[in-house]
Structure 1
Amino acid sequence: MSGPECCENPPALSSWSGHGSVLELGGFNTYVSGPPTSKRAILFVSDVYGYEAPNLRKLADKVAAAGYYVVVPDFLCGDPYTTDKPLSIWIQSHGTEKGFEDAKQVVAALKDRGISAIGAAGFCWGAKVVTELAKSDNIQAAVLLHPSFVKVDDMKEVKAPIAILAAEIDKISPPEIIKQFEEILSSKPEVDKFVKIFPSAKHGWTVRYNVEDKAAVQQAEEAHQDMLDWLTKHVKEWFK
């Protein structure tokens, strides 16, 4: 069970709600950004704080500006984690197993729209959901950012090209665990991989950074670029 570290630095919600819009996709309220005619989609799976977090939506808009149709579903169904309740209680009704089943519905809905290539990026809680997608044939590429709940054995089953962006200061997925992930992936030459541990970064740094802290912003943006580079490399339109 992930400790309270994954719940540190909750995002500061604001009236800003992104450049995209919210619509229904696969049965979920979903923040969408980018050209709806694109044949390439990126699925974001949020951390426990949900799909309304401003930094997450800003990142969705950034990826959308590269030509992708970016979707951020509300897999927490209007009930993101709040610090006034124990995480152990909240997680009982917000398991990653259900998140994976929900994500498959959204992937199916994207394919029904004519999307030919899909990448997925998961943050903290969402990283486990994306790992499960990467073990199936649902997506063309995966990115895990400061993952929670992901186990070493999960890496043995990964099929999709996978990038893991991790923090040096992270009790949930510490560097020694990340290195084990990398070792297993290295034994699977058929699976392209990219593993990077960010010095002095803390769990959640890619979406729960202080926008007034220039160093924190710079480090988050470095991870964002790594994510986008990986998606650009692997999420390519398939023509049938």
Structure 2
Amino acid sequence: MSGPQCCANPPTLNPSSGAGHVEKVGGLDSYVTCSPDSKLAILLVSDVYGYEAPNLRKLADKIAAAGFYVVVPDFFYGEPYAPENAERPIQVWLKDHGVVKGFEDAKRVIEALNGKGVSAIGAVGFCWGAKVVVELGKTSAFIKAAVLCHPSFVTLDDIKEIKVPISVLGAEVDHLSPPALLKQFEEVLAAKPEVDSFVKIFPKVAHGWTVRYNIEDGAAVKSAEEAHGNLMEWLAKYVK
């Protein structure tokens, strides 16, 4: 289910990137960046490259500036996917870092956030992380809203079970969640009037574009920023 595109354009990880800091949340090292005293939290669930990706942290800072307490946990316990490691190809790596474990860890992070007095939580998932966010969104117990960016592993059956407002941002060039599949997602969601939904396919971009864009490429940055604007509008609308 995961192919070369899932791992294309790997970021140069930087543990000191971003305006926030790293602390333990729910037992996981997490990048935390926040608006002081905010009771509204956003959980960002990374792709396979983890929480030290500079573009991901930059987005976290942008969401925090809009008034949210933003947490980006290290769901991979210090071992993000490393494409240069021939002994740990993606299929082997995924056996140790599956989305089921990610879902269980995410629930612990949410429990910790609730313990801090947070009143509402939204979640955004990228590639691998989108599957974790979908699992969270199958009940209204954990999050108020979900955003999926170029999802991996998400199925029609998953979408049928969604209970919270959901936004799906997809790429025109995506072998993991091609436009045809996203259109099916849209049809399933349209038949669920009790769940507000938004599905958008971005032209001329590939899987991973929202966080793995080249900062020197103006068109790539523009498409990523458009997606960031869409996801922030969704969070502002439903996490309150």
What TM-score range do you get, normalising by the shorter chain?
over 0.9
Aligned twin of 2:54: 54
Partner of 1:228: 232
Structure 2 distance, partners of 1:15, 1:177, is 35
1:140-219 counterparts in 2 under 5 A?
A: 140-219=144-223
Letter in 1 for 2:98: G
Counterpart amino acid of residue 51 in structure 2: Y
Aligned with residue 117 of structure 2, among 114, 118, 121: 114
Q: Distance in 1 between matches of 2:10 and 2:71?
A: 22
Paired with 2:15 and 2:119, the residues of 1 have a C-alpha distance of: 34
Alpha-carbon distance in structure 1 between the residues aligned to 2:161 and 2:212:
30
Q: Deviations over 1:87-144 (max 9, x none)?
A: 0100000000010010000001000000000000000000000000010221000000
Give the secondary-structure state (helix, strand or coil) at the position aligned to 2:131: helix
Paired letter, 1:168: E
**1:35 Cα deviation after fit:** 2.5
Aligned counterparts, 1:25-104, within 5 A: 25-83=25-83, 84=85, 85-104=88-107
Aligned to 2:4: 4
Structure 1: runs of 5 or more not aligned: none
Q: CA deviation at 1:34?
A: 1.0
Unpaired segments of 5 or more residues in structure 2? none
Q: Measured at CA, do residues 53 and 99 of structure 1 come closer, stay the same or move farther in structure 2, by a change above 3 Å?
A: same
CA RMSD of aligned residues (A): 0.9
Post-superposition shift, 1:37?
A: 1.7
CA contact (8 A) 1:23 1:32 kept: yes
Aligned to 2:134: 131
The one-letter amino acid paired with 2:123 is A
8 Å contact from structure 2 (residues 43, 72) kept in 1: yes
Give the Cα separation in 1 of the matches to 2:222 and 2:14. Answer: 21
SS in 1 for 2:200: strand
Instruction: Give deviations 1:183-215, integer Å, cap 9, x for gaps.
Output: 100110000001000001100000000000011
Percent identity between the two aligned chains: 64
Q: CA-to-partner distance for each residue in 1:21-42, whole Å, 9 max, x for gaps?
A: 0000000000000125211000
Change (3 A) 1:153 1:82: same
8 Å CA contact 2:147, 2:168 repeated in 1 = yes
SS at match of 1:189: coil
Q: Does the aligned pair in 2 maintain the 1:4–1:87 contact within 8 Å?
A: no
Question: What TM-score do the two structures reach when normalised by structure 2?
Answer: 0.97
Question: 1: distance between equivalents of 2:71 and 2:93?
Answer: 24
Q: Is the 8 A contact 1:32 1:69 kept in 2?
A: yes
Give 1:17 shift. 1.3
- In structure 2, C-alpha distance between the alignment counterparts of 1:16 and 1:215, rounded to whole Å: 27
Structure 1: how far apart are the matches of 2:214 and 2:203? 17
Structure 1 178/111 Cα, relative in aligned 2: closer, same or farther at 3 Å? same
